[in-house]
Amino acid sequence: MQTQKVIDHIVSWLKEYAVNANVKGYVIGVSGGVDSGVVSTLCAMTGLEVLLLEMPIRQKEDQVNRAQDHIEDLKKKFPNVQGKTINLTPVFESFEDIVHDHVEGRWSNNLALANTRSRFRMLTLYYFGQLHGLLVCGTGNKVEDFGIGFYTKYGDGGVDVSPIADLYKTEVYELAKALNLIESIQNAIPTDGLWDADRTDEDQIGATYPELEKIQKEYGTKAVEEYEGRDKEVFMIFDRMHKAAKHKMVPIPICDIPEEWRG
């Protein structure tokens, strides 16, 4: 990948989009992961106003430390960057008490509760975005957004722009290295940060990002019968998750009313 060309292109695209939208810049949620680290740096490079929000909800200490270290690093490098920590733990726990009918250990209800963390963060980003005239900048990559749908609908999927959604995870790591992000961000193990327990993306998905990328690049051109061994296992994971997440990737279905029925 021609890394510098990609960086320059995204920075130019972000700046042009914000100027055309007549906004001051961008607000980004910083999690301590590589995706938000890269996106926030690209936004900072536009020279526009950038607000970085760290929004912990019973977050692990290493995630909090990485996020805060990254924010401080960007603030030192870019005078247009500001950072703020909004502790959403009390908000989440208040909601958790209200919907106490969830059953611990029951996957569907626990996932529903976990996804509220992402949705509270989305609300917070839009609050500060509207308050300061900023667009909410998404941090999803190509595998998550258009491969397996590994994000929360109307949570981290609720954004105004998505600058790295055409980049695979391995390509995002290339950008992180080229942008000289702090080492802890470059080496961070991907996790969605929605669970109290240490659950990495790989733990939840059952496959690594490089494995998923291989399948995504071939998806639609090869049948399951053409795979064997581990590749076949990953194809089955990708195919199942892709189909289950289709509703996240397509426009909201509209029930069309025939014109002759009007009037």
What 3-state DSSP class applies to 219?
A: strand
- Alpha carbons 86 and 226: distance in angstroms, whole number: 49
Write the pLDDT tens digit of every residue in 81-96: 999 999 999 999 999 8
Q: Convert the pLDDT of each residue in 206-257 to its tens digit.
A: 999 999 999 999 999 999 999 999 999 999 999 999 999 999 999 898 999 9
Angle (CA) 217-11-17 rounded to 5° is: 95
- Per DSSP, the three-state class of 150 is coil
Q: How confident is the model at residue 132 (pLDDT cuts 50, 70, 90)?
A: very high
The mean pLDDT value for 101-126 works out to: 81
Question: Got the DSSP string for 49-91?
Answer: EEEEEE--SS--HHHHHHHHHHHHHHHHH-TTEEEEE---HHH
135 neighbors 129 (Cβ within 8 angstroms)? yes
Given this model, what pLDDT does residue 48 score?
Answer: 98
Selection from 201, 200, 226 nearest residue 149 by Cα: 201
**Of 65-79, 123-137, 200-214, which gets the smallest average pLDDT?**
200-214
Q: What is the CA radius of gyration of the chain?
A: 19
Q: Is 145 helix (H, G, I), strand (E, B) or coil?
A: helix
Cα(first)–Cα(last) distance of the chain, in Å? 56
Per residue in 24-54, pLDDT (tens digit) is: 999 999 999 999 999 999 999 999 999 999 9
Average pLDDT over residues 171-194: 91
